[in-house]
Structure 1
Amino acid sequence: MQDSRKAIIAWSFYDWANSAFATTVMAGFFPIFFSSYWSVAHSAQQSTFYLGLANSLEAILVAILAPILGSIADKGSFKKRFLIFFTFLGCVMTVGLWFVQAGMWPLAVIFYILATVGFSGSLIFYDALLPAVASEKRVDFVSSLGYGMGYIGGGTLFLINVLMYLNPSWFGFADEIAAVKAAFVSVGIWWAVFTIPLIVFVKEPHFAHAKRSKRAVRDGLRQFAVTFKAIRDLKVVGIFLLAYWFYIDGVDTIIRMAVDYGSAIGFPASSLIVALLITQFVAFPSAIAYNLLGKRIGVKKALLVAIAAYCFIAVLGYFMSEIWHFYALACIIGLFQGGIQALSRSYYTRIIPTEFSAEFFGFYNMLGKFAAIIGPVLIGVVTLVSGSNRLGILSIIILFIIGGVLLWRVDEAEGATSLASFRSSMAAKELQKVSD
């Protein structure tokens, strides 16, 4: 199964599928439409606060569910089933945005939260299938390929959606409102259709400890508690997760809040959309190329370079005043966004036991989502209290600095030793259960 070309391509196509939600909905039209249509009666600062709150509520739900569902998925080999369930939830809720009328911002928030739970929840199990698809030798490349496919796939549909928005009459729509609502529907359909290759061609490995549904739930909950304690012994995993917790928050916050920030400081919606397109198509080759940088200088050093670049991006964001500044920033973000995401994922596979991948990726996504609770709210609160969107965007530098310092302390050699001890301990416990 590992390194099968068909499985690798099918797995990568899920990034192509779900990235349409990240581009068209999360980063693109939802923030614009939320402030100009659903929350039009409120100020820009209030709209930013509501949007940040919605992102944080979604993050709390996923953070609570992620490690528990990951444990259950590992015990019963249910990764694909959970992925399909969350994908279905995300697709249905995204299409549902078509029915939300002007001024109904609470309903828009509910649909958005559930759709984003579907998006984020499916990624737990998508990431967890990576060790089944790629060997350690190819995992950096395959992870980067997935993100690269995501940027080109999400960017392609986003380009179509942008044309629908800018020229609604070309597509038979009465106005921009109808075009944006149709764009949400197109995302749900795109996401569902391009998930099919993964369902058909990616085979989930069935480990010897796989259990039936009811027993998998019981043992999965028990295993969650065991692994939570074990992470204290797997010191390197714990330090990496803390580092990831902070630095990926800054990345996710920029992805989710950049358009809202640009809109708040007076840039026109059409220019913001163009900037997002620039990011997508710069990020596609950059995600693949960053894999080569990781091979050349080491994955951890490549991650530290990206973290430093994001600190620079936040500073530039504070000072930008012209639309060409936003375009330049979009290019810089594109250079590092896919790289830091792809190499973080592949680096993590090296320091965890692959037979418990869903469970450990549950913790990985849990901490990422708990971090996403901090970032959007941090920007929202700083913006609301200070009255300055610029100070809000600058505040996320703190997260990158903390994440970089913690990542510097990760020792891979120590991690290999503790991982071997963990595997021996778990094997002994399984044998004890059998003998009992």
Structure 2
Amino acid sequence: MPPSVRDAAATEPAPAAAALKRVQHGWYLNDWANAAFSATVLTVFLGPYLTDVANNAADVHGDVHPFGIPVRAGSFFPYTVSASVLASVVVMLLAGAVADRTGRHRALLGGFAYLGAAATVAMFFVSGDAYLLGGGLLVVANISYAVSAALANSFLPGLAAPAERDAVSSRGWAVGYAGGGLLLVLNLALFLGHDAIGLSSAMAVRICLASAGLWWAAFTTFPMRRLPSRPATAPVPQPVDEHAGGTLRELAGTLRGMRRFPLTLLFLAAFLCYNDGIQTVISQASLYGKEELHMGQTTLIAGVLLVQVVAIGGALLLGRIAQRYGAKKTILGSLVAWTVTLAFGYFMPADQPVWFYALAAAIGLVLGGSQALSRSLFSHLIPAGREAEYFSLYKISDRGTSWMGPLVFGLAFQVTGSYRVAIISLLIFFAIGFVVLLRVPVRRAIEAVGNEAPELL
């Protein structure tokens, strides 16, 4: 299969078109596979559970001491998410450089996906006061998730013509939310029935965490079989030390070369801002619901399941809106909706599950579409042959891997002791992201990297 089909999808004969559909379906199933980690682990179970484990290890002042550093037990999870992302920055950039240099996008995608799945399965063994084990596994799994997702995103420019990319990206997100939602249904059934089958709630949570790793590993086999190999952008040096040095020089060259595309960098800066806000809402929602709104574990799971279900339709709906008004305008509208939703969450009364479900539905409506359209819009702003490296930079702040947002969230709670203050502090990310994105001349940015711009942006 040719490395890129950006302009050929509409003119290919039927067999080639059918082969392209098969590759697209394989790519969709990668979202189906790794959405289990995002939904079950990051969004629902691990935050509250790891916080309980940290509380078990806390001293009389409510602090734990990882590596001798005093940290409030309630801030351990968001701080660990931040640490995992800071570590993933280097790993993602190096992996992207290696992938583009060698053409081993698919092999690296699979390697990191299976490593992340193994770390997620190992979360079954986190119990008692073993908060450091849980934190370490989260770091490994979150890094692996980020790298594998970035490498998967790098296939997008070769999966559809420019005018079709928003729709393909939106379908991928919809399939991902369907997969994450299905596993959540199964985990909800297990958690609700844990007493009937003789399990403690903690054991049920541990099984749910491990199930996400098994799901991730099992369904990753499909994109591994269907995604095509891609050509390298440069010959691969033979000696190992020369290869490593060549990769680092290639990475440094990529970072220097990005200065030639300031409009791409401007879009990336906007995305890093508003997506930090999105990702922090996702990763800290269960913690906020439990500690501030006094929601039980069953309500939290049902709320996140509602997000998954509504997000399927939301991703497809915003994809259709983008076909009429353009991706940029649709994303800007979604950021306004995010701001309203966050304010609603701040003022929402505690101990009222119906309002929590309303908040979940509002999040789901804009969640999938804002992320899917951001991914497809960024795919137009990448020079050909550098997809993995650029999407590694993009992925730094993608689903569940932001670091500035959790850091601000954790600091706000550390200083004030209020999760409401922590959640409303995230408004700054949406406001800055909106203003910066508004200033990006998207068509000129696409033409600057040498790509064909779709008619409607």
What TM-score, normalized by structure 1, do the two folds share? 0.91
Moved more, 334-343 or 217-226: 217-226
CA contact (8 A) 2:331 2:374 kept: yes
Letter of the 1:16 counterpart: W
Q: Deviations over 1:53-94 (max 9, x none)?
A: 100010001112222221121010011121111111111111
Contact 1:74 1:220 in 2 (8 A): no
Distance in 1 (CA, whole Å) between partners of 2:446 and 2:207 is 50
CA distance in 2: counterparts of 1:147 and 1:209, whole angstroms: 32
Equivalent of 1:364, from 394, 398, 406?
394
Secondary structure, counterpart of 1:168 in structure 2: coil
Q: Percent identity?
A: 30
Q: Which residue of 2 aligns with 1:254?
A: 281
Residue range with higher mean Cα deviation, 175-184 or 75-84: 175-184
| Contact 1:248–1:371 under 8 Å retained in 2 | no
2:42 counterpart (16, 19, 26):
26
Counterpart CA distance in 1 for 2:399 and 2:289 is 24
CA deviation after TM superposition for structure 1 residue 223, in Å: 2.3
1:390 aligns with 2:390: no
Tell me if the contact between 1:55 and 1:113 (Cα under 8 Å) persists in the aligned partners: yes
Number of corresponding residues: 420
Q: 1:97 aligns with which of 123, 138, 148?
A: 123
Alignment of 1:331 with 2:361, yes or no, is yes
Shift of 1:372: 1.8
2:290 to 263, 276, 288: 263
> Which one of the candidate residues 186, 189, 197 is aligned to 1:160?
186
Instruction: Note if contact 2:318-2:369 (Cα within 8 Å) is conserved in structure 1.
Output: yes
C-alpha distance in structure 2 between counterparts of 1:198 and 1:369, whole Å: 19
The answer for the alignment partner of 1:10 in structure 2 is: 26
CA distance in 2, matches of 1:208, 1:419: 17
Tell me: CA distance 1:408–1:167, structure 2 relative to 1, closer, same or farther (3 Å): same
Aligned to 1:39: 55
What CA distance in whole angstroms lies between the structure 2 residues aligned with 1:32 and 1:416? 43
* CA separation of 1:368 and 1:180: change in aligned 2, threshold 3 A: closer
The aligned residue for residue 101 of structure 2 is 75
Distance 1:216 1:13 in 2: 32
Correspondence list, 1:33-432, <5 A: 33-40=49-56, 42=58, 46-168=72-194, 172-207=197-232, 209-211=234-236, 214=240, 217-265=244-292, 266-321=294-349, 322-366=352-396, 368=398, 372-420=402-450
Residues 274 and 430, structure 2, Cα contact 8 Å, conserved in 1:
yes
Distance 1:148 1:22 in 2: 14
The alpha-carbon distance between structure 1 residues 369 and 162, as it changes in their structure 2 partners (threshold 3 A), is closer
Conserved 8 A contact 1:318-1:394: yes
Q: Deviations over 1:291-331 (max 9, x none)?
A: 11111111001110111111111111110112222110100
The answer to whether the 8 Å contact 2:84/2:401 transfers is: no
- SS state at 1:351 partner: coil
Deviation at 1:216, TM superposition (A): 5.5
TM-align CA RMSD: 2.1
